[in-house]
Each structure stands twice: as structure tokens, then as C-alpha cells.
Chains A and B, each alone.
Chain A
Amino acid sequence: MLELKNVHTYYGNIHALKGISLTVNEGEIVTLIGSNGAGKTTTLRTIQGLLRPREGTILLNGEALEKLAPHVIVQRGISQSPEGRLIFSNMTVRENLEMGAYQRNDKDGITRDMEYVYTLFPRLRERMTQRGGTLSGGEQQMLSMGRALMARPRIMLLDEPSMGLAPILVDQIFEIIKTLNKEGTTILLVEQNARLALSIAHRGYVLETGEIVLTGEGRSLLDNPEVKAAYLGERAH
């Protein structure tokens, strides 16, 4: 469904992505793990069109995305819960969700999806008229994911949904990711919490300083000694 081929992205002279290739198939949860500064966020921003790759191509069902504007890419079916959540703090929860559906014009569908988001995250329903800035970190993460859902994406990009959250909340969020996936949303999940991410993912990629160094099924990566040593805090034997 989504395919990156040899993608190179730069920040000025900084070579942040050094030829990334990865694939996400329909119905999958694919995770991209790696330590801080590896280039995970850069990858998601490049897919979304916020950054332009200097080389390589990004295909969504065969269509090249790398020259399209971000809002067109959203139209094509890619939405994202970005790093830092980027909630519109002066807007209410409901307005934030409306913004997520900005590209859509089907009023009834939007109402139905909003109801779906509220069922998925009952906390958001309670906070409907509250400003985004007044939400707790966990609630903001829920809002950020709900907002991404409102675009009714074919594939949803999640950038570190566990960041800064209490363990119980993290479990809750990951449960919902699994639910979403079961209900048909394809997911590309970026995480520093490798154990958790690999435990729910079908497949995973390991990113190190802008390059993919390992790939495999979620389970097999969990058992991989190098992954264990580098990302799961276990010593290799």
C-alpha cells in the first residue's frame, strides 16, 4: 500500500535519511523503532509532505506522493498523529476534531466519525467543549489520534503515542491502536518503546542514524539479540 524507495531527506546540509526503503501493506501495523535522533520523525514528516526528499520516491497504491502538497497527501488518505501531538490549544476538543476532517465535505459521515471517536475515547466526549490546551497529556494524545482518525485515513501515521504517558495510559492507547487496526485501519507506528511496539506490530523496521539496519516480523525482532541489546535493555549473550 505505502512504499518508500531509497528516500533521502536533508535538513540543509544534514543528511537525516540516507536512503530509506520500507513497505506497509494494507491491514498491517508496521512499526519503525530506533533511538532518539535516528530519523523516525523525519520519515513520517517526509511521507506527509512536510519535508521534501532530495532523492527517492514514496508511493501510495502506486501513486507518487513526493511532489504533492501536504493537504493533497491528506486527501489521498494519509493522516498523522504527530510528534508532540500538536493540539490546537486555543480550540475546543470538538473544533480540533473538526480540523481533522478539514478535507472532507460529507457532513453526515463527519458526524458519524466524530461519534465513533467519542466512543473510542469517552474522555474526549466529556471534554468536548473544553479547550485543547487544558487537556492532560493522555487526553491530548487521544485527541491527536482522534483528529487523525477524522480524516478517515487509509493509513495512519503515529509518532510516539506513548511519549510522556503513565504506563496504564500507554496500555490503553495501545489497546486502541490494536482495535483500530482490527477495524481496518492500516498503521505505521513510530516508537522508542520498542518492546511495546513490536508486541503489537505485524512487522518492524529498525532505524539507526538515518538508515534501516534491520527488518522482520514483530515477534522475530523481539527475539533478535541485537534488538534486545540495543532497544530492549537486555544484554546480548
Chain B
Amino acid sequence: MQTAANSRAGLRQSPIWRILLAIPIIYVVLLLGQPAGLDLPKIVDTIRNDPGILLQQLINGLANGAIIAIIALGYTLVYGIIELVNFANSDVFMLGTFTALLSMSPFIIMSENGGASVPWWAALIAFFPAMGIGALLNVTIERVAYRKLRNAPKLIVLISALGMSFILQNIGLQLGSLGKLAQAGPQFSIFSILGSNNAAPKSFPSVFSNDNLLEYVFPSEPTPTPAADAGGAAAAGAVAGELSEDAVMATANAAIDATMVADEATRAAAPTEVVAADAEVTPEVAVADAEATPEAPVADAAAEIVATEEPTPDIIATMNAENGGQDVMAEAPAATNEAGQSIERTKVRITFKDLLVISVAVVLMLVLRWFIANTKMGKAMRATAQNRDAAKIMGIDVDRVIAITFAIGGALAGAAGMMTGIYNGTFVFTMGFTAGLRSFTAAVLGGIGNITGAALGGILIGILAAFSDQFLSVRWTNAWIFLVLVLVMLFRPTGLLGKHGGEKA
């Protein structure tokens, strides 16, 4: 396939041009990198003091990258077949999370401390509606927004795609308001999980434990240090914020947000292996504990932020939900480091969720590859991607093939939506934007139209995001990813695995 950038091949092929272009770009990166957290000595220092954190972020990056990769498969499949960037793909992903949540809601079990969970089989069942609705949505989008424009100028289709993205986002916003129904009567109680604020991040019931699987392999005795205690306090304090009547009053919704932050904080603190039992300590004690720990002022502050239910947690939670739940997780260990002067080392954690997300992604990718290489429909997809007229001459119903491609992309986005719910425990209706940026960049980085490339790109972007969250700055992570997108488009528009002139799915 020919990308628009390919037509400017002459520019890219000249090595002098590349070097001339690279110099200002490197300069700008170094210049702007400072405010964006690119402080190399500090990063080196952090890693030297605590090498485990590198490994931990690699694991986080892999898991988040796996989700990004699955969404990227949808982008790459659709682009491969009709050279269209289906911007709505990542909003289908967002609605996939909603669908999964709503289909699990009848099975939600509320625990005594207000935490919502569902049995694993409910999560398994919810995969099907999430994928089904994703497929249905994407097919409808193709029918409504793209089919008539198949021979229209690219810009027009692009605008149509953006329009679809906005529409889906607003559907997400409206779905969020279903939570208000819960007040109307007990028959609507399944919607209570959505909270009363339609725009606020939603919490996803927990399905699998956060136990560190490495603990089973290499059991160790918990030796809480002051820094770890502070982390534990942060978690406990967050729980306190939710439970205690004495906590600053807030809306019921903010309480849910706090639960999410708490959840994240638990995971954040977990790398330093907080004694999980600490969370059961009475709130007052926990907070007091945190305040009484002078060695950890930063962590203490974190605990306060979480505990006082001012607008702050809401914002944190929103960012958190958009970024795939990485930021609190990333900041807390850094805080302990600063506070504790590198006393405590990161204890590498691998949870069942990490393994689940990564293996589901691998399985989906392998099945997709097999499908495209070996089935009649897969071959028809390749034929259509290579030359639509030739495919028609073969007797292939091209409209149907394109619809099925959208269906597969949508089903993958729905599956990714389900997995992001399970993995991050929280989501918000605007998360399609960030997910879209990351997965589209992943698809371009790997070589758009190339399935293995999308998977590779997803993993790389996931790791980049995790590292940026940890070592640079959460607020700038999207900017770094955008920079990657620009650089790839400038210097290697065919991506890492794409050949010159283009290689099809």
C-alpha cells in the first residue's frame, strides 16, 4: 500500500536530510526534555539506587503495552484494508469497557469495606458482550460513516472519523448517567456501580487478586521499613477517606473515586511490599501513623491528598483512568525514594492480572495471524488489502470483507476494553483519546498494516509510557508518545517491520 508519506520518498532517502533533520530534533528534545522530566543524572541515580524499579516498570509496560497492542491491531487491520485511520476505534474500546462493566454488574459482590468484586466466571462471560458490542459498533460505524465516502478525498473521511469518535464519547458520557437510575428504585440497583456523576471515572469491580505471584515462588518475610509503613499508611488512609464519617464530606461519587485512588495507591505502595494487613488498621491509627513518620514526608503528603476528598482526588483519578492507571502507581515509589533516601528497594511484583493481560494479548494476536494466513476470509482480506479491484474480479464481496475487518477490529477493541477494566480497575469516558494516541502510534511504529508490527509497537509504546511515567513525568507521557509518532512518520513512515513500498497484513 502507498502511504501519503511514501510519495515524499526522495526526501527520506537522502541521508544528509535525515541528519540535518535529526540535529534540531535532538536539540529540541534535550531543551524541552528538562521541564518534561528528562533529567538524565537523576534517572541514572534512581535506577542505580533501585534497579528493581526498572524491572517493575518493564512488567507494567508489558501489560499496558499488551492492551495497547490489541487496540493497535484494530487500527492496523482497518488501515491495511482501506487506508483509513478509524479514529473511533479507541472509543469503541472505551464503550467495550462500559459494556463489560454493565454485563458484569448483576454479579457484583460488595465487600464489607465497600470494595466491589465479581467472580472470575462473570468476567469470562462479560468478554463476549464486550467483544460483540465492539464488533457491532465498529461495523455500524463503517456502514454509517465510511462506506459512502470510500472514494472521497482522505480529509473528508478523516473528519467523518473524528465525528464518529465524538459521538461515541458522548454515548459514553450518557451511559455514565445510567448510575442516576440506581436512585430511582431497587430494580435499577445494578447501575449503582456507575456512581451518580456521569462524567466521573468509573470503578471496575476487581476480579483477580493483586497478590504478588513471585511471593509464591520466592517467599520472603515482610520487613516493613518506615518508608514502607508510610506507603501502607497512604493506602490505609485512602480507605479511611472512603469509610470514615469524619472524613471531609464529599459526594458519593467522590467516594468511589477515592476507592479507585486507594486501589491504585495500594498497588503503588505494593512494590515496597507493604504488609497488606496494615490496611485493616483503623483509619485514625493509620493516618496518625503516617503523620508520625518523619522519614517519609512525601509519602505522607500523598496520603493526605488521597484522604482529604477535595477536588484533587477526582482530578488524579481522572488522569489516572485516562493513562491506564499508571500515574499514582508511578509516583508513589518515586516518593518513597525521595523520602527514604533510597533505603527501600523495589520488590518486583508480578500479579495474575499481568500474566492474564499479556497472555490474552498473545493468544488474540496468534489467532488473528492464523486467521489471516489460513482461512478463506483471511485470504480475502489480504486480497482486498492488496488490490480492491482485483479482489472484486475474483468474486470477493469486498463490502462484506471490509465489514468483517471492522467487526474483528471492534471485537479486539472490546476485548481490550474488558482487559483494561480488569487490569486498571478504573476507566473514564474520555480514555479513548489517550488509548487512541498510544495504539495508533504503536501501529505506525510497528508498520501500519502489519499485525506483528502492531503487537511489537504496542509493547514498545507500553514500555515507553511506563518508563516515562516513572522516570520522567506522568504529565508529559502523552507528549513523548506524540513525539515518537512524529519521528516515525518523518523518518520511517513504513515503521519498524514495514518494508519500503509497504507490506500488507
Name A's B-contacting residues (CB within 8 A).
Answer: 48-50, 69-71, 74-75, 79-80, 82, 86-91, 95, 98-100, 102-103, 147, 151
A47 to B77, CA, bound (A): 31
Selected from A48, A70, A99, A151, the residue in CB contact (under 8 A) with B379 is A99
Chain B interface size, as a band, is: 20 to 34
Judge whether B397 and A86 touch: CB under 8 Å. Answer: no
Contact status of A99 and B386, CB under 8 A, knowing A90-B503, A90-B504, A91-B379: no
Contacts of B389 in A (CB 8 A): 50, 82, 86
Judge whether A90 and B390 touch: CB under 8 Å. Answer: no
Contact status of A88 and B393, CB under 8 A, knowing A95-B379, A102-B376: no
B369 within 8 A of partner (CB): no
Contact status of A89 and B397, CB under 8 A, knowing A102-B376, A102-B380: no
Contacts of A79 in B (CB 8 A): 393, 395
Within 374-416 of B, Cβ neighbours of A (below 8 Å) are at: 376, 379-380, 382-383, 386-387, 389-399
Contacts of A103 in B (CB 8 A): 395
Contacts of A100 in B (CB 8 A): 394
Judge whether A50 and B382 touch: CB under 8 Å. Answer: no
Contact status of A151 and B390, CB under 8 A, knowing A99-B379, A102-B380: no
Minimum CB–CB distance for A75 against chain B, Å? 6
Judge whether A102 and B394 touch: CB under 8 Å. Answer: yes
Judge whether A91 and B393 touch: CB under 8 Å. Answer: no
Contact status of A91 and B383, CB under 8 A, knowing A70-B392, A82-B389: yes
Judge whether B396 and A99 touch: CB under 8 Å. Answer: yes
Minimum CB–CB distance for B110 against chain A, Å? 54
Selected from A82, A86, A151, the residue in CB contact (under 8 A) with B395 is A151
Contacts of A70 in B (CB 8 A): 392-393, 395, 398
A90 to B390, CA, bound (A): 13
Contact status of A74 and B394, CB under 8 A, knowing A86-B387, A88-B387, A102-B376: yes
6 pairs, A vs B, C-beta closer than 8 Å: A75-B395, A91-B383, A102-B376, A102-B394, A103-B395, A151-B395
Contacts of B382 in A (CB 8 A): 88, 90-91
What does DSSP make chain B's interface, helix, strand, loop or mixed?
A: helix
The 8 closest A-B pairs by CB, nearest first: A74-B395, A86-B390, A103-B395, A70-B392, A71-B397, A99-B394, A102-B395, A71-B395
Minimum CB–CB distance for A93 against chain B, Å? 13
Selected from B379, B387, B391, B398, the residue in CB contact (under 8 A) with A98 is B379
Selected from A50, A90, A98, the residue in CB contact (under 8 A) with B393 is A50
Judge whether B392 and A50 touch: CB under 8 Å. Answer: yes
Minimum CB–CB distance for B400 against chain A, Å? 9
A164 to B93, CA, bound (A): 49
Within 449-505 of B, Cβ neighbours of A (below 8 Å) are at: 503-504
Interface centre among A50, A69, A88, A98 (most CB of B within 10 A): A88
Contacts of B394 in A (CB 8 A): 74, 99-100, 102, 147, 151
A79 to B394, CA, bound (A): 7
Given contacts A80-B393, A91-B386, A147-B394, 16 further A-B contacts (CB under 8 A): A48-B392, A50-B389, A69-B399, A70-B393, A70-B395, A71-B396, A74-B393, A82-B393, A86-B389, A86-B393, A88-B390, A91-B379, A91-B382, A91-B383, A98-B376, A102-B394
Nearest B-chain residue to A69, judged by Cβ: B397
Minimum CB–CB distance for B266 against chain A, Å? 49
Minimum CB–CB distance for B391 against chain A, Å? 8
Interface centre among B386, B392, B394 (most CB of A within 10 A): B394
Contacts of A82 in B (CB 8 A): 389-390, 393
Minimum CB–CB distance for B143 against chain A, Å? 16
A87 to B391, CA, bound (A): 10
Interface centre among A91, A95, A99, A147 (most CB of B within 10 A): A99
Minimum CB–CB distance for B105 against chain A, Å? 43
Judge whether A71 and B392 touch: CB under 8 Å. Answer: yes
Minimum CB–CB distance for B338 against chain A, Å? 53
Contacts of A71 in B (CB 8 A): 392, 395-398
Selected from A49, A91, A102, A147, the residue in CB contact (under 8 A) with B396 is A102
A91 to B391, CA, bound (A): 13
Contacts of B395 in A (CB 8 A): 70-71, 74-75, 79, 102-103, 151
Contacts of A87 in B (CB 8 A): 390
Interface centre among A48, A70, A89 (most CB of B within 10 A): A70
A74 to B392, CA, bound (A): 9
Judge whether A89 and B396 touch: CB under 8 Å. Answer: no
A147 to B395, CA, bound (A): 11
Contacts of A88 in B (CB 8 A): 382-383, 386-387, 390
A20 to B481, CA, bound (A): 57
Minimum CB–CB distance for A118 against chain B, Å? 19
